[in-house]
Chains A and B, each alone.
Chain A
Amino acid sequence: MDNVLEVRGASKNFGSFTALNNVSITVPKGSIYGLLGPNGAGKTTLIRIINQITLPDSGSVILDGEPLQASHIKDIGYLPEERGLYKSMKVGEQALYLAQLKGLPKTVAKERLKYWFERLEIGDWWHKKIQELSKGMAQKIQFVVTVLHEPKLLIFDEPFSGFDPINANLIKDEILRLRDNGATVIFSTHRMESVEELCDDIALIHKSNKILDGKIRDVKRAYKSNTFEVGINSVNNSALEKELLDKFKTTPAHFKSLNNDLKLNIQLNENQKPNDLLSFLTSKGEVSHFVELIPSVNDIFIQTVTANNLQ
């Protein structure tokens, strides 16, 4: 698969402060790429470099096979975390202005705006001023303005902040639809459940360095510990627990269950197969619960960042 964006060894210093240290990322075409990291890690600096707002001290950015240049501005749509609109300007005028800044001719911009405004059911706002709208309403317009010029690459920094759950869902569906129509999305957020839900790839930036990246599935595979959550009911639960403790590495588990089960997390070593465990368990009693524990993005995030802080 082609890559829409490649950042190669980007570094940026502000005086003695290093905002970004030799960071490389590769964003595959048509994917949703999660850019994660604690506050102040350097995500915004990286995004600003991609948007040509900040120039990197070293390193290069390749967009669609070409080194990043001024003409690429129209290929990128950027929804910054610190965002807003001119308060005293009318919605329609403002959207037209911002679209024209992205290189859209006025007539085309007008047509597309009408389409989007109808789609998001905000058509009657054209002549309203931003200061008359609620925050969520303004966010909708901001979203439309970001995607209006149909860029190849969309960068959303905390896109769901300021939206109620219904509108957040609406925007999420729009992002997915844009992806299906061929756009590539870079998605920066602290809301791990939406990363889990939307992203195909992730990169984790911490203290100016990239400490992890790859396909979510691969990352999870690398981080899973071969642990199974087990619920079982036998004649003598405490005897079974002892027996299991001899054979496997077990820790008590906590999950909700209707029965008075024996609940354990059982970690297998390289020689032990899940099937062996399962057949052992079924021979001992009634198995009510058997799930492999897959680490969530949230777990991976916390685990790697904490581990990194200790170093």
Chain B
Amino acid sequence: MNHLPLIIKREYLSKVKNKSFIIMTILSPIIMIAFISVVAYLSQLNNDKIRTISILDESGKVASIFDNTENITYNKLGDMTLEDAKTLVTETSGYGLLYIQNNDTPKDISKAIKFYSEESPSLSTISKLERDLEKHLTLMNYRSSGIDIAQIEASKIRVDIFQENFVGETSSKTDNIIKLIFGGAAGYLLFMFIIIYGNMIMRSVIEEKTSRIIEVIISSVKPVQLMLGKIIGTSLAGLTQFAIWIILGSILITVVSAIFGIDMYEMQSPQQAALQQAMETPEINTKVQDIMQGFFNLPLTNLIIAFIFFFIGGYLLYSSLYAAIGAAVDNETDTQQFMFPIIIPLILAVYIGVFTVIEDPHGTISTIFSFIPLTSPVVMLMRIPFSVPIWQQVVSLALLIGTFVGTVWIAAKIYRVGILMYGKKPTYKELIKWIKY
């Protein structure tokens, strides 16, 4: 008798109807969005504040370069002593005082510039001042040494390497960054999915043990069926939750940005920042074009198919291990020692993905780890946007499936014995013995 659909249905419904699951599903995006909004709002508040910086320029050659900006108002002080200037700034509670001593050469001027303030000034303000001063003093230096500035400007050369592979597909830096984002997102998604829903499977196995229903159930169904039913049912619940998060999240983002007028796209992740930096070409049109181009340059079909297979394969591999752990112990506190060897390869995979694949997607380390089954789903998913040869993908997937079958077999053995064992925490030695029963 095949009860798998029945078990899947029960597991799915019991997860989805669970109060804490519902609350998590609805609250998580709200909390996330609220959090982001608060941060965005606060940093905007901070940016909106106009700072008054007084400038006491004894040389008389520098102050003129400072023009008021959105956030900074420059107050150029006339003839007065440094002490008077300090008192003035304190009394008018200005942000700070930029003091430029009178010296002959730009070099000497640059050595004696000071910033006085009540509190330590913000890093961005100081670096802006430094940048402006540097630029101006360099120019002054050129001029005083009789160098023709126009000539220097004219002889500057910008290099932009055009990338093309042997098949003739061109790509650009933007492409690479888009590839990184896609690969990183896919790998990270799998990682999160395994951690969250693997744990959920484990808890649900433990729950069956602690409620003592397990023997009743397995007098009706085979343990392997129960285990697979649990894994599939929980995964479906997980997919549901993910889908709701995405839908709810995007609705909330739209609503929140409409209400507060906050541009969410200003809130950037480091990758996005890198993307934007790479795209700092003057023409906006090419920017959009580049992104579109980069997107279509991705091996999309390959990416989607590989994502589905590696995601499912990797997830099932890990979740069967989680199920086996759940079966081996009586309560959640005992799971720690068994969780460790599972978490390690996962974290390793993400680290390799983040540090090695980005640096060199087809290097030795990236390649090796995209074949090792416990790390391959994450690492391979991160590599694929950079065009991995099909044979490598097939071999890696075959290894993954082979390991998955083996792991399910072992996990099922541990599960079968473990679910009927109560009372003591088993050792690794005992687990190996169970496999042999």
> In the bound complex, how far is the Cα of B404 from the Cα of A223, in angstroms?
59
Q: With contacts A73-B219, A101-B3 known, is A84 near B14, CB below 8 A?
A: no
Please report which residues of chain A, range 138-162, place their CB below 8 angstroms from some CB of chain B when the two chains form the complex: 142, 145
Interface residues contributed by chain A, number (CB under 8 Å): 29
A89 neighbours in B (Cβ, 8 Å): 14
A68 to chain B, nearest CB (A): 13
B420 neighbours in A (Cβ, 8 Å): 48, 53
Q: Is the CB of B212 within 8 A of A84?
A: yes
Q: Is the CB of A145 within 8 A of B216?
A: yes
A15 neighbours in B (Cβ, 8 Å): 433, 436-437
B220 neighbours in A (Cβ, 8 Å): 73, 98, 101-102
B436 neighbours in A (Cβ, 8 Å): 15
Task: Decide yes or no whether A88 CB sits under 8 A from chain B.
Answer: yes
A264 to chain B, nearest CB (A): 50
A100 to chain B, nearest CB (A): 6
B1-35 interface bits toward A, Cβ cutoff 8 Å, 1 = contact, 0 = none: 10100110010001000100000000000000000
A52 neighbours in B (Cβ, 8 Å): 219
- By size class, the interface of chain B is 20 to 34
> In the bound complex, how far is the Cα of B3 from the Cα of A97, in angstroms?
10
Task: Determine which of A82, A97, A142 lies in contact with B422 in the assembled complex, contact meaning CB atoms within 8 Å.
Answer: A82
> In the bound complex, how far is the Cα of B1 from the Cα of A71, in angstroms?
7
B3 neighbours in A (Cβ, 8 Å): 100-101
B356 to chain A, nearest CB (A): 44
Task: Decide yes or no whether A103 CB sits under 8 A from chain B.
Answer: yes
Q: Is the CB of A87 within 8 A of B221?
A: no
B129 to chain A, nearest CB (A): 63
Task: Decide yes or no whether A80 CB sits under 8 A from chain B.
Answer: yes
Q: With contacts A14-B437, A73-B220, A145-B216 known, is A101 near B6, CB below 8 A?
A: yes
Residue of B nearest to A100 (CB): B6
Q: Is the CB of B212 within 8 A of A83?
A: yes
Q: Is the CB of B216 within 8 A of A80?
A: yes
Residue of B nearest to A79 (CB): B216
Residue of B nearest to A73 (CB): B220
B18 neighbours in A (Cβ, 8 Å): 88
A151 to chain B, nearest CB (A): 11
Q: Is the CB of B1 within 8 A of A73?
A: yes
Q: Is the CB of B216 within 8 A of A97?
A: no
Please report which residues of chain A, range 33-90, place their CB below 8 angstroms from some CB of chain B when the two chains form the complex: 48, 51-53, 70-71, 73-74, 76, 78, 80, 82-89
Task: Decide yes or no whether B217 CB sits under 8 A from chain A.
Answer: yes
Task: Decide yes or no whether B269 CB sits under 8 A from chain A.
Answer: no
B359 neighbours in A (Cβ, 8 Å): none
B433 neighbours in A (Cβ, 8 Å): 15
Q: Is the CB of B219 within 8 A of A97?
A: no
Q: With contacts A73-B1, A84-B211 known, is A78 near B14, CB below 8 A?
A: no
Task: Decide yes or no whether B213 CB sits under 8 A from chain A.
Answer: yes
B237 to chain A, nearest CB (A): 15
Task: Decide yes or no whether B215 CB sits under 8 A from chain A.
Answer: yes
Task: Decide yes or no whether B405 CB sits under 8 A from chain A.
Answer: no
> In the bound complex, how far is the Cα of B1 from the Cα of A85, in angstroms?
22
Task: Decide yes or no whether B139 CB sits under 8 A from chain A.
Answer: no
> In the bound complex, how far is the Cα of B220 from the Cα of A258, in angstroms?
58
A78 to chain B, nearest CB (A): 4
B414-429 interface bits toward A, Cβ cutoff 8 Å, 1 = contact, 0 = none: 0000001010000000
B211 neighbours in A (Cβ, 8 Å): 84-87
B359-386 interface bits toward A, Cβ cutoff 8 Å, 1 = contact, 0 = none: 0000000000000000000000000000
Task: Determine which of B10, B207, B219 lies in contact with A51 in the assembled complex, contact meaning CB atoms within 8 Å.
Answer: B219
> In the bound complex, how far is the Cα of B210 from the Cα of A82, in angstroms?
10
Task: Decide yes or no whether B279 CB sits under 8 A from chain A.
Answer: no
A188 to chain B, nearest CB (A): 13
Task: Decide yes or no whether B218 CB sits under 8 A from chain A.
Answer: yes
> In the bound complex, how far is the Cα of B215 from the Cα of A126, in angstroms?
23
B119 to chain A, nearest CB (A): 55
> In the bound complex, how far is the Cα of B168 from the Cα of A258, in angstroms?
116
Please report which residues of chain B, range 220-263, place their CB below 8 angstroms from some CB of chain A when the two chains form the complex: 220-221
Which of A48, A53, A145 lies at the interface centre, i.e. has the most chain B CB atoms within 10 A of its CB?
A53
> In the bound complex, how far is the Cα of B422 from the Cα of A87, in angstroms?
18
A145 neighbours in B (Cβ, 8 Å): 216
> In the bound complex, how far is the Cα of B217 from the Cα of A52, in angstroms?
12
Beyond A52-B219, A53-B218, A73-B220, list 19 extra A-B contacts (CB 8 Å).
A53-B215, A53-B219, A70-B1, A78-B215, A83-B215, A84-B212, A86-B207, A86-B208, A86-B213, A87-B207, A87-B211, A88-B14, A97-B6, A98-B217, A98-B220, A100-B3, A100-B6, A101-B220, A145-B216
Cross-chain pairs A/B with CB under 8 angstroms, 23 sampled: A14-B437, A15-B433, A15-B436, A51-B219, A70-B1, A73-B219, A73-B220, A74-B1, A78-B219, A80-B215, A80-B216, A82-B215, A82-B422, A83-B215, A84-B213, A86-B14, A86-B207, A86-B211, A87-B207, A87-B211, A101-B6, A101-B220, A145-B216
The 10 closest A-B pairs by CB, nearest first: A84-B212, A101-B220, A80-B215, A84-B211, A78-B219, A51-B219, A84-B213, A82-B212, A87-B211, A102-B220
